[in-house]
Amino acid sequence: MIGKITTSIKALNLLRSQLYIFYPKEILKDKRVAILGAAATAFEEEKGDFIESFDIVVRINKALHSWRPSQERYIGKRTDILFHSFYENESSGGGPINYDEFVEQFHLQYLVHPDNSWKGYRTHLNFYKRHPQKIPSYILSRRMADELEKKFKNFSPTVGFSALYSVLNSPCAELYITGFTFFKTPYVQGYRDHLLSLEANDSHIKEQGLHNPELEFQLFKSELSKSSIKKISLDRGLNSIV
């Protein structure tokens, strides 16, 4: 019991000192930004060097945990911002977070769990219980979280959509989007192999009851059309469904 209390107190102190607000409008201002999801469409073209040429590269959940050297010519390697669920299970979560390794190997600068709610803060607290060290983490502003909540009502945005929404509502100089198809195509192999088939993933999403991919797709198209970013390019897979 004493051990659990000590762990909780240490985690709470880390939460207070290490949690920051993520302000995409400031961080991404006038930057060339590439954002990558986990759809297999990101591997249809060898865009590694192109992606690495951007000022800021954003990836999602298990992207760093599942990354392999053979993928570099397709999707690059550098990761400036990682949006993560902070659920570190292999099957449905964002995968293990090896922070020091991510910083050293991928040059990670921002680790973002976007959910600014009591649930989100509890998730951050549990993160520091598992990782009792000084790891700076980030959360979306309450204002942006409120905007998302109004759009989703009875559903929760996926981590990927939260990342897309953050970027599309920022004054980037340029944006490239790849690896997002809103579950209309399979994951890349090695990411969530037990959900490679569309049927298995659809069943998984319905069983969870948390997310609404079709709503996210419609909201994405709306945000895409309203975005102030002058130059936005999509990979072939996303472009074909938009």
Could you give the number of structural domains in the chain?
A: 1
Q: pLDDT tens digits, the chain, 242 residues: what are they?
A: 667 889 999 999 999 999 999 999 999 999 999 999 988 889 999 999 999 999 999 999 999 998 999 999 999 999 999 999 999 987 767 899 999 999 999 999 999 999 999 999 999 999 999 999 999 999 999 999 999 989 987 888 999 999 999 999 999 999 999 999 987 776 565 555 454 454 545 554 555 546 688 899 999 999 999 999 999 999 999 999 98
pLDDT of residue 2: 64
For the chain, the straight-line distance linking the first and the last C-alpha, in angstroms and rounded, comes to: 54
Predicted pLDDT of residue 22: 98
Q: Which domain holds residue 191?
A: 2-241
Q: Which two tokens stand for residue 126?
A: 């549990």
Is the separation of the CB atoms in 145 and 204 below 8 Å?
A: no
How far is the C-alpha of 84 from the C-alpha of 163, rounded, in Å? 9
3-state helix, strand, coil in the chain (%, to 5): 50, 15, 40
Domain containing residue 168: CATH number: 3.90.1480
| pLDDT of amino acid 207 | 58
Which pLDDT score is estimated for 39?
87
pLDDT the model gives residue 194: 52
Using CA atoms of 7, 13, 14, 19 in order, give the dihedral in degrees to the nearest 10: 140
